[in-house]
Structures are given as structure tokens and as C-alpha cells.
């Protein structure tokens, strides 16, 4: 699981959402000889095979969430260099420029100020944000606070940077690919476009009809604009608190063949019965060390987290 591709880690306060071009290149160079990089369609096909026949090599499906412009400008050239396919999950509201870009409003605000002053329950009244490290820490703290109750807290960034000063549209244009850029991305033989709702909504916070509209309308909009089949889905936010059995059933009803979460785990043959809640391992980390994706591929972190019991991760 990847979100943003950057040249330097300091290019974003959300270091846990970024991977540098150099590290992505190193990861693909190191893992390409050891594993098969496959599309989501092939993941599904492999899970349908006889699980008693052990494959000779592990497989990896690379995914990018949210449709950031840098997936095209910085990520795609690296994928092309290595011949590695990937799925890019796009909320249709991003190219339609009607997304709520609260994380990027929060980042812009913290970058522009030297102190955060808030009078909100559960948060410090003042945070010094003079150094890059302090800004990163404040961004992480406030993002975590918003995630605890997204509908109630997502307006917090506007307290720090009002929309009168910086419009939503300008923040969206700055971060996310346009329809023309997505058409360029989707036209590449290595790229599969996946659904990611309309507005990147936390589906658990919506009633069933609203959630189904987010899932289905996002799919239809992408297919109409990009002239591609959209058969794979990623749950916005993707944790257990944001998606569960109801959401998995809605995604299947909308016609998707797979759904991926943000729950940490490797894929096993047992996931053939859980195609709407496939786990992923994150490549975007604050510290970039090649040992991490090597361990991820081995399955050791999944085994340890399950205490050597059934490692099958669902939500």
C-alpha cells in the first residue's frame, strides 16, 4: 500500500503516507528478482487455484491510494522502468474537484504558522510548531484526533486555515490528478484503476443508502470518464473502525471483484473466501529501510502479530 510519491521525505508532513522515488526504486530492484509482481485480477485468479500446490515464488500486488498527481509524474516512470503493474484507487471527487481536502488544509496551515492555538477537548491548548519535527508531530497528533470521529472533527483544519484564505479547489488541484492526467495514467498497460468512493468518505459513518451511493457512483463516474472497467475497490481509511461486514457486502453488491483494507497482513489461500476484505502491508513509513519490505514479504510480522496462530487477517 502506497499513497504519495515524493522526492524527499521533507516534502510532506505526512511521512507515513509518502515513499521517496529512491526508496521505491530500491524496493522494486530488490524484490523484483525474488517475487512476482501481479495485478489484482491475477491475485484473484491465484487464490482460486488449488491451495495444496505451493507456489515457487511469492507474489506482490502494488497499490496506490487516492489518485495523487505524483503517482503519474514520479511513480509511473519507476513502475515502467521495472515493468511492475499497479492498481491506483481514485475517489472520483478528486478529479471532479469536489473532495474535502482536510488533510492538506491541515498540512498547509501547520507549515505556515509557528504555534497552534486550539480550545478543543482532548487536545493541548497550544502546540509549538517552529521546527520541521514539531510540525510533523503536530500534524500526526491532529490527524489522529480527527480520525477518532471524522464527521465531527474534519472541520478542525479550517479553524487554522479558513477557506476564505485558501479554497478547497486550489488544495485539490495542487495534490490530485485531473481527469486528463488520470486518462494518461489509465492508458498505460501497467495501470489498473480502482474505485475509492466519491468523496473518500468513512463508509461506517454513513447510512446504507449513502454508503452504497458513494461506492457505486464513484465506480460509475470513473468508468464513464476513463473508459475502463473498474473492478477493484479500496476502503477509504480502511481500518476496522471505518469498514466491516456491511461495507464488504455493499462493495460486492456494487460489482467489485476485490476490496482492500488498510489492515496489516499477508494474503493466504484462505482469503479466497474473503475477497472483499484483503489486507495490505504499507510501504510508506517514516523511516525507509529495505529490511522492512523484505520482512513483510516473508510473512514474519503477520506471524508474530497472530502469535503463530491462524495468520488470516480479515476485519
Confidence category of residue 42, pLDDT binned at 50, 70, 90: very high
Residue 279 CA to residue 257 CA, distance in Å, equals 15
Pairing of strands 86-90, 115-117: unpaired
Give the C-alpha separation, 67 to 230, whole Å: 14
pLDDT at 18 over 80: yes
144-169 pLDDT, tens per residue? Answer: 999 999 999 999 999 999 999 999 99
Which pLDDT band, with edges at 50, 70 and 90, does 114 fall under? very high
- 46-54 average pLDDT score: 81
Tens digits of per-residue pLDDT, 209-230? Answer: 999 999 999 999 999 999 999 9
Q: Following DSSP, what letter does each residue of 5-16 receive, concatenated?
A: EESSGGG-S-GG
pLDDT of 53 > 80? The answer is no
Q: Which three cell numbers stand for residue 91?
A: 475517489
**Whole-number pLDDT of residue 298:** 92
Are 265 and 221 in contact by the 8 Å Cβ rule? The answer is no
Handedness of CA 6, 98, 238, 58 (dihedral sign): negative
Please report the pLDDT score of residue 307 as a whole number. 84
pLDDT of residue 54: 75
- Say whether pLDDT at 13 is over 90: yes
Position 277 pLDDT exceeds 90: yes
Asked if 231 and 257 touch (Cβ cutoff 8 Å), the reply is yes
* Average of per-residue pLDDT values in the chain: 95
- Nearest in space to 306 (alpha carbons), one of 272, 279, 273: 279
What is the mean predicted confidence (pLDDT) over 235-256?
Answer: 96
Residue with cell 492508458: 187
Amino acid at each position: 500500500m502506497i499513497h504519495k510519491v515524493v522526492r524527499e521525505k521533507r516534502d510532506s508532513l505526512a511521512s507515513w503516507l509518502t515513499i521517496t522515488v529512491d526508496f521505491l526504486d530500491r524496493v522494486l530492484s530488490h524484490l523484483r528478482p525474488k517475487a512476482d509482481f501481479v495485478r489484482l485480477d491475477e491475485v484473484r485468479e491465484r487464490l482460486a487455484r488449488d491451495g495444496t500446490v505451493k507456489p515457487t515464488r511469492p507474489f506482490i500486488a502494488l497499490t496506490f491510494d487516492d489518485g495523487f498527481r505524483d503517482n503519474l509524474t514520479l511513480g509511473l516512470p519507476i513502475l515502467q522502468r521495472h515493468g511492475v503493474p499497479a492498481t491506483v484507487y481514485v475517489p472520483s471527487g478528486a478529479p471532479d474537484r469536489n473532495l474535502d481536502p482536510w488533510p492538506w488544509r491541515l498540512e498547509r496551515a501547520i507549515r505556515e504558522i509557528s504555534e497552534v492555538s486550539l480550545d478543543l477537548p482532548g487536545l493541548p491548548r497550544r502546540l509549538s510548531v517552529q521546527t520541521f519535527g514539531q510540525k510533523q508531530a503536530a500534524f500526526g497528533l491532529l490527524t489522529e484526533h480527527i480520525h477518532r470521529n471524522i464527521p465531527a472533527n474534519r472541520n478542525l483544519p479550517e479553524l487554522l486555515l479558513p477557506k476564505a484564505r485558501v479554497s478547497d479547489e486550489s488544495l485539490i488541484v495542487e495534490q490530485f490528478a485531473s481527469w486528463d492526467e488520470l486518462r494518461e495514467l489509465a492508458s498505460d498497460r501497467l495501470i489498473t484503476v480502482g474505485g475509492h468512493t466519491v468523496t473518500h468518505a468513512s463508509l461506517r459513518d454513513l447510512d446504507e443508502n449513502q454508503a452504497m451511493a458513494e461506492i457505486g457512483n464513484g465506480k460509475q463516474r470513473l468508468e464513464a470518464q476513463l473508459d475502463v472497467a473498474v473492478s477493484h475497490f479500496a476502503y477509504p481509511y480502511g481500518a476496522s473502525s471505518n469498514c466491516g461486514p456491511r461495507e464488504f457486502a455493499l462493495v460486492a453488491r456494487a460489482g467489485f471483484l476485490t476490496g482492500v483494507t488498510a489492515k496489516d497482513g499477508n494474503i493466504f489461500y484462505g482469503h479466497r473466501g474473503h475477497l472483499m476484505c484483503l489486507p495490505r502491508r504499507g510501504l510508506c513509513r517514516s523511516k525507509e529501510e529495505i529490511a522492512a519490505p523484505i520482512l513483510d514479504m516473508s510473512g514474519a510480522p503477520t506471524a508474530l502479530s497472530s502469535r503463530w496462530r491462524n495468520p488470516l487477517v480479515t476485519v
